[in-house]
């Protein structure tokens, strides 16, 4: 039995390790640890389980189950427009395929826009997804076409056909590339000559470490992010960086990716996320 009102050094370290190993980050971890220590004193408890409960509650509060996580898909007298952005290889195109499937299942008509005109076979990949889920894709037959005009075409065709939602795929880009980020800003501006973008999703890979903060800040600067999609949560990574990302942007994680299949997209579940994060530390 340890002294009343405190845990052993090892117990505190184990809690700290759990947070750090989940990519929560040093700053957020320090803050959480400080609050836990205060709470331990207030409660006068040296009980690890009790403190773990406090930790769980604190994390849940940070993740904030009360945020509105629905997608904004209603255009005024135009289709809802979803713009999907993020760094290279996070799962944008795959997420669009899965999202289209869900929207169709909900009875909405959907059109996809292949505004990644850069990466090898990107438009083909989106087209394959379109076939899989039974949704048309607007693409350019020219490699290297202007992504903004492809995006515009998609939204224009969507309006003309009277579809409910147009989802626009964009090329992956690293947030420190000024020209590519400007290009993304232009894609959004050009779309909005036709119809407002109702939802801008930043797709983030759960394996991402502290660089996620830089991604969030710089993408939000050019396109005003309204939701986060956390992909590849089916792997061993916990995705703890999104706690700080949500706080920084004031925008919630709305969806999570749980695999490569068409049905592997789910609404974000705050309690489930926290439980996963606290479940057996990654390694020791």
Residues that bind ligand GTP (CB under 6 A): 86, 88-94, 116, 119, 122, 171-172, 174, 203, 231-232, 234, 257-260, 264
Give the pairing type, strands 227-231 and 253-257.
Answer: parallel
Q: Is 229 helix (H, G, I), strand (E, B) or coil?
A: strand
Alpha helices in 106-161 (DSSP H): 122-133, 147-161
Q: Which is nearer to K ion, 15 or 233 (CB)?
A: 233
200 binds, among K ion, other proteins, ligand GTP, none (CB under 5 to 8 A by kind): none
Q: CA-CA-CA-CA torsion for 243, 272, 105, 130, nearest 10 degrees?
A: 50
CB of 77 to other proteins, least distance (A): 34
Chain contacts with other proteins (rule: CB under 8 A): 17, 20-23, 25-26, 87-91, 97, 118-121, 124-125, 128-129, 132, 174-177, 205-212, 214, 232, 234-238, 241, 260, 282-284
Binding mask 44-83 for Mg ion (x = CB under 5 A): ----------------------------------------
Position with the least CB separation from ligand GTP: 172
For Mg ion (CB under 5 A), the number of binding residues is: 2
- Per the CB < 8 A criterion, the answer to whether 230 and 204 are in contact is yes
How far is it, in rounded angstroms, from Cα 154 to Cα 114? Answer: 8
Residue 181 — φ and ψ, nearest 5°? -70, -40
Residue 168 — φ and ψ, nearest 5°? -110, 120
Residue pointed to by tokens 């609404």: 267
236 binds, among other proteins, ligand GTP, Mg ion, none (CB under 5 to 8 A by kind): other proteins
CB of 105 to Mg ion, least distance (A): 22
Q: What's the Cα-to-Cα distance from 16 to each of 29, 32, 57, rounded to whole Å? A: 7, 9, 16
219 binds, among other proteins, ligand GTP, Mg ion, none (CB under 5 to 8 A by kind): none
Q: Which of residues 219-238 bind K ion (CB under 5 A)?
A: 233
CB of 124 to other proteins, least distance (A): 4
How far is it, in rounded angstroms, from Cα 160 to Cα 152? Answer: 12
Q: Which is nearer to Mg ion, 93 or 200 (CB)?
A: 93
Q: Which is nearer to Mg ion, 89 or 209 (CB)?
A: 89
Q: CA-CA-CA-CA torsion for 67, 251, 158, 105, nearest 10 degrees?
A: -40
Q: Which is nearer to other proteins, 20 or 50 (CB)?
A: 20
Kindly state the tokens that stand for 23: 């990519």
Interface residue with Mg ion among 18, 29, 90, 93 (CB under 5 A) is 93
How far is it, in rounded angstroms, from Cα 247 to Cα 82? Answer: 22
- The residues binding Mg ion (CB under 5 A) are 92-93
């Amino acid at each position: 039995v340890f002294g009343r009102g405190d845990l052993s050094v090892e117990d505190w370290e184990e809690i700290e390790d759990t947070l750090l190993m989940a990519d929560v980050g040093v700053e957020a971890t320090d803050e959480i640890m400080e609050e836990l220590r205060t709470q331990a004193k207030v409660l006068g408890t040296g009980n690890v389980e009790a403190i773990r409960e406090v930790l769980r509650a604190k994390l849940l509060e940070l993740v904030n189950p009360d945020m509105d996580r629905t997608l904004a898909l209603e255009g005024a007298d135009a289709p809802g427009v979803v713009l999907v952005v993020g760094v290279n290889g996070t799962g944008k195109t795959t997420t669009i395929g899965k999202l289209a499937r869900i929207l169709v299942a909900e009875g909405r008509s959907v059109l996809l826009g292949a505004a990644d005109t850069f990466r090898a076979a990107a438009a083909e990949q989106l087209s394959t997804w379109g076939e899989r889920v039974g949704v048309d894709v607007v693409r350019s037959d020219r490699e290297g076409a202007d992504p903004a005009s492809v995006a515009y075409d998609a939204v224009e065709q969507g309006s003309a056909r009277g579809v409910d939602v147009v989802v626009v795929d964009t090329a992956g880009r690293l947030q420190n590339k000024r020209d590519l980020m400007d290009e993304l800003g232009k894609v959004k501006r050009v779309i909005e000559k036709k119809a407002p973008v109702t939802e801008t999703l930043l797709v983030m890979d759960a394996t991402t470490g502290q660089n996620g903060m830089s991604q969030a800040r710089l993408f939000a600067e050019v396109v005003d992010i309204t939701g986060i999609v956390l992909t590849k949560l089916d792997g061993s990574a916990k995705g703890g960086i999104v706690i700080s990302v949500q706080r920084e942007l004031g925008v919630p994680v709305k969806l999570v990716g749980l695999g490569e299949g068409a049905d592997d997209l789910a609404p974000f579940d705050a309690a489930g996320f926290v439980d996963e994060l606290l479940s057996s530390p990654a390694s020791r």
